[in-house]
Structure 1
């Protein structure tokens, strides 16, 4: 049984996920994607696993969870700054590609090594407000199966996740273009940090911007 078969047994997919033009997506990104991810995205569409793990999708509900959106570039730049400042980043930031986020603000990465063999990329997870990293020596789909089945415990994830219902909750995709008159979303996360602090959000000085604050920014600036 393949990993995608195991995942669909754990988390039944929605009936009508949106189609994806993978040729256009890969041309936009400039590299090939793992076959397991393309199957995963085609079967499930955009949404969240166990109400916690959001895998980026080419038809993401906002550009902040869109595989071709600004987050992978912004995160790579942030990791380069972290590494230069002596904070723990166990991999070359140029080999990390952000492709998911949790509701707690952790990010999921492909370790793109070797770059020309995407089906052998492994998974890394950072810590939202701390220095810990976790590495899974397998594909994204195998990672989801292992975590949601309780076989693998990611230290950064809540203890109750394995006891939570292993459901997939789809999200309705929106057009990628901003609504007329809306404020463009920034690619620099420092802009969001400054806005969050100015509006009374409890945001740590280091670590990743929590997904809830991204959502608050979008709502405050005319996102749909």
Structure 2
């Protein structure tokens, strides 16, 4: 991995490991999100995605998907969540995102998962930025977020996806190589 475009690493003051607390933090940072919440949490066959990938996904992401459909923040950042009964499609999308990996945009990044420490996509911007997990820890609850800017810069956040979204929207997180993200929510 070449570090020429590596910007740095940001860490939360306290990493939130409890999925319910992470969701509450996101809902507090993005008040309009609650209006998109499912009436009842849905059950997914997570084994379709996880067995196919060969890894358990982080609990905060699964909790978010069970409570919310896919959504976008500020018509910018699209959070890619599976649809109930269509888990195989989400698995295929995560596994088959190879065009981007072969592009110059990914030249400085780790290889895609399942390579050791490989990256696994969970979101993207409508501008071409990528939001990924770095699977460098054995426990998915400890994975960090990696942001790959369309401008070539990339950086890490040492927290989970849901906490990343909350801190990006509430201004706690410096949006390196990204535009500021407002709390406007749309379904994607």
| Shorter-chain TM-score above 0.5 | yes
Counterpart position of 1:67: 90
> What is the alpha-carbon distance in structure 2 between the residues aligned to residue 104 and residue 72 of structure 1?
21
> What is the alpha-carbon distance in structure 1 between the residues aligned to residue 28 and residue 147 of structure 2?
24
Task: Tell me how many residue pairs correspond in the alignment.
Answer: 158
Highest Rg: 1 or 2?
Answer: 1
- Specify whether residues 34 and 71 from structure 1 end up closer, same or farther in structure 2 by C-alpha distance, changes over 3 A only: closer
* 3-state SS of 2:90 partner: coil
Counterpart position of 1:4: 23
Deviation at 1:30, TM superposition (A): 2.4
Deviation at 1:23, TM superposition (A): 2.7
Q: Write out per-residue CA displacement over residues 90-125 of structure 1, whole angstroms, 9 at most, x where no aligned residue.
A: x344310111001211010100112x4100000011
Pair 1:27 & 2:47 matched: no
TM-score after normalising by structure 1: 0.61
Counterpart position of 1:189: none
CA RMSD of aligned residues (A): 2.9
Which one of 131, 135, 159 corresponds to residue 112 of structure 1?
135
Pair 1:98 & 2:121 matched: yes
Counterpart position of 2:66: 42
Larger RCO, structures 1/2 (Cα 8 Å, 6+ apart): 2
* 3-state SS of 2:97 partner: helix
Counterpart position of 1:209: none
* 3-state SS of 2:62 partner: helix
- Specify whether residues 74 and 55 from structure 1 end up closer, same or farther in structure 2 by C-alpha distance, changes over 3 A only: same
> What is the alpha-carbon distance in structure 1 between the residues aligned to residue 103 and residue 186 of structure 2?
34
Contact 1:25 1:58 (C-alpha < 8 Å) held by counterparts: no
> What is the alpha-carbon distance in structure 2 between the residues aligned to residue 32 and residue 135 of structure 1?
21
Bigger proportion of residues as strand: 2
* 3-state SS of 2:83 partner: coil
